[in-house]
Amino acid sequence: MSVYGDEWEDADVSPNSLLEELVSVSRQIGTNPRLVLFGGGNSSIKLDGSDFKGDPARVLWIKSSGSDLGSVTADDFVGVVMDDLQRLIEREAMDDDEIVNFITHVMVNPNGPLPSIETLLHAFLPFGSVLHSHADAILTLSNVTDSHQVIQEALGDDVVVVPYIRPGFQLAKTAALALRLRTSDIRGMVLLHHGLLTWGDTPKEAYALHEELIAQAEQYISNLPAPVIVRSPFLPSDRRKELVQRIAPLLRKYLSADRRVLLSFSDNEELLSYSLRKDLGTVIERGVVTPDHLLFIKNTPMVLPVSFDLSNSDLLGLIESKVESYRQRYTNYFLRHSDRSLDMRSPDPVITVVPGVGVWAAGQDASSSRIALEMYAHTCSIYEMTERLGSYSSLSEDEVFDAEYWPMELRKLTLRPVSGEIQGQVAVVTGAAGGIGAAIARRLARAGAAVVLMDRDQKQLESTAHLLGKEVGDSNVLSVVADVSNETDVIEAFEAAVRTYGGVDILVSNAGSAVTGKLTDLSMEAWTASMQVNITGHFLVTREALRVMTRQGLGGSIVFIVSKNAFVPGKEFGAYSIAKAAELQLGRIAAIEHGSDGIRVNMINPDAIWTNLWDERIRADRAKAYQIDESELEDFYRRRSLLQRVVTVDDVAEMVLFLVSERSSKTTGAVIPVDAGIREGFPR
Ligand code: ZN
């Protein structure tokens, strides 16, 4: 059952090709969510090579700590000299610091990243290539009360079962000794509450065994009858939708007390039916399926039982009290186990289950919250699979604490720094498909925000969002096709933002359209079109943003991209200039009405930015209005500015970032030109 193409059959077996083979196999494992989730699992190969002095040596190449198996490259494998590692098995004990210290002295490249925390385990197993995953089916077998017997029954007695031990010297030594006791051909090893190890002379052989054992486990589980689970009935979808919109901003408010978080949400059928279990209260107490998940989702979620008829203030009170009691419980757990040397992690829940509505996961950025949500979804499915086998076997509280506060594991978090000036914030940018809007979205995303790109041009919007997603990660970019002058479109766009990220902190109201013509020549149609986009559009997005921001209670920042035209009306540009003046007034009203909510509203007046807004027709019209040749237009605009410089979309984007950041936290109701200095355009 090879998953490889034919080229594998004839591949040579030089060290380089074996490392390449390991890279391929590792990615196969790492990109299969049935086998591992983010950061889980590892792989290795032992090859002849040389140590850092250049002397010949057998070298263990193992995945570096913190790299992701799914996107691993040959450079992510760290070389450690086998002779030195193997000798350690004779020791009685070794603590983690000793191991790390020892390993850094025997690495082929001492300045490279540290190898996986399971290096000794790989080194002590006497096989060419070793693969390790946290496959769902294996975790199912290894999280029931009589796991040992279940595993032998499901997989056969040519699989070794190792009791739960936190990774480190003891686990590595126990696993190696368990193998020494067995003489027959062993196909693999299951670490209880943890995962699977298989091996072979080559990565390909090890992978074939991996697949074989997992398929066997899956088959065994699916052959057993599923127990009957009693669930409450599903709620009508429109009521659920409404509750999602009401709950998310409030939940985000209380989970952002220490630092701003984003929320990912799912109400897929599995999670929704899980949330409706009558015994949910006891099921959620089962805890993580492998200690690896503790860093990402904590041991248990928060449950928020809501009903439709709850008023907003009752809902607020409920969320506040549930979050508070979760924190209290976490703090008590920490205090029961901690000595004074440890700092408590945030006591907030990561996962919130709302029966009948869905599951939320909180994270410092969109990718962390999505990873957490995915881990919890797998946890729920493993819970339900274990019910075919018997009763669930949880880690003890001591084991949970020991794993959650294991310094080696906590160090992993520091390898994934989350930073950025507006980290954890959600920014909606209108007219984001191109020009100024696209530049603003990119600037805000680079500064750490999750961005919601709105535009009515679907094709260009998708291509802009795709490019941006490649740069900042797809999970940080949401694109919504919407016409800002269409009330339903705007409402739905903000609902999508709340559903995807939990709320909105920043609005950049940028969408506009240039309508030209003398008043006497303006048709009713052209006039109305300009008012619809250039003023009604700004009103609609502002209203929806303010509604979300005030519900959320975390303040916020709105920036209007206006135009010098608000102060300096342009010839034959009436329908545009008049709307721009109204937009400026809209911003001021919003600043006045919402200052007490901590919402700041500021305006930017750019001038003569060269974007595709200036299509052929507009250029021709402007040139005609100023009685110059079209080719002279750019120079004309440049020379009339005080600084005599060309203004770009990035100049505007930079000013937007300043206005939405803490750096301008005392500024609201301001108008700032980005026009290289136009005397007539000075704000007044
Ligand atoms: Zn593991």
> 53 and 198 share a domain?
yes
> 281 and 379 share a domain?
yes
> 190 and 315 share a domain?
no
Walk across the sheet containing 351-354 and list its strands: 262-266, 358-363, 351-354, 302-303
With CA atoms as reference, report the closest residue to 251 among 309, 323, 314: 323
pLDDT digits (tens, 9 = 90+) for 439-472: 999 999 999 999 999 999 999 999 999 999 999 9
Q: Is residue 680 part of a domain?
A: no
Query: Pairing state of beta strands 195-200 and 188-191?
Result: antiparallel
Q: Is residue 257 part of a domain?
A: yes
Query: How far, in Å, is the centroid of ligand 1 from the Cα of 42?
Result: 7
Q: Is residue 126 part of a domain?
A: yes
48: which strand partners? 58
Which domain-ending residue is among 161, 191, 222? Answer: 222
Query: How far, in Å, is the centroid of ligand 1 from the Cα of 31?
Result: 16
Cβ distance 529 to 485 under 8 Å? no
> 460 and 380 share a domain?
no
> 580 and 601 share a domain?
yes
When divided into structural domains, the chain yields a total of: 3
Contacts of 119 (CB under 8 A, 6+ apart): 60, 62, 80, 85, 99, 103
Q: Locate 444 and state its tokens.
A: 């805000």
Query: How far, in Å, is the centroid of ligand 1 from the Cα of 35?
Result: 11
Q: Is residue 444 part of a domain?
A: yes
Give pLDDT, residue 252: 97
Give pLDDT, residue 10: 46
Amino acid found at 295: L
Residue 501 falls in the annotated catalytic set: no
Which domain-ending residue is among 414, 446, 476? Answer: 414
CATH number at residue 406: 3.40.225.10
* Domain carrying residue 379: 237-414
Query: How far, in Å, is the centroid of ligand 1 from the Cα of 132?
Result: 7
Query: How far, in Å, is the centroid of ligand 1 from the Cα of 12?
Result: 30
With CA atoms as reference, report the closest residue to 79 among 40, 106, 43: 106
Q: Locate 306 and state its tokens.
A: 């809501």
> 218 and 247 share a domain?
no
pLDDT digits (tens, 9 = 90+) for 85-101: 999 999 999 998 899 99
Give pLDDT, residue 474: 95
> 434 and 566 share a domain?
yes
Query: How far, in Å, is the centroid of ligand 1 from the Cα of 527?
Result: 65
- Extended strands (E) in 485-544: 506-509
> 514 and 373 share a domain?
no
Give pLDDT, residue 3: 40
Spell out, as residue ranges, where the chain has pLDDT lower than 50: 1-11, 612
Give pLDDT, residue 418: 65
CATH number at residue 476: 3.40.50.720
Amino acid found at 190: V
Which domain-ending residue is among 414, 440, 470? Answer: 414
> 371 and 491 share a domain?
no
Q: Is residue 637 part of a domain?
A: no
Give pLDDT, residue 8: 44
Distances (CA, A) of 89 to 94, 97, 170, 176: 10, 16, 10, 9
Q: Is residue 642 part of a domain?
A: no
Give pLDDT, residue 410: 74
Catalytic residue among 254, 333, 392, 576: 576
> 172 and 211 share a domain?
yes
Query: How far, in Å, is the centroid of ligand 1 from the Cα of 196?
Result: 8
**Secondary structure of residue 109 in the 3-state scheme:** coil
> Helix, strand, coil shares of the chain as percentages rounded to 5?
50, 15, 35
Q: Is residue 628 part of a domain?
A: no
Q: Is residue 138 part of a domain?
A: yes
Dihedral of alpha carbons 480, 482, 484, 488, sign: negative
> 215 and 132 share a domain?
yes
> 399 and 474 share a domain?
no
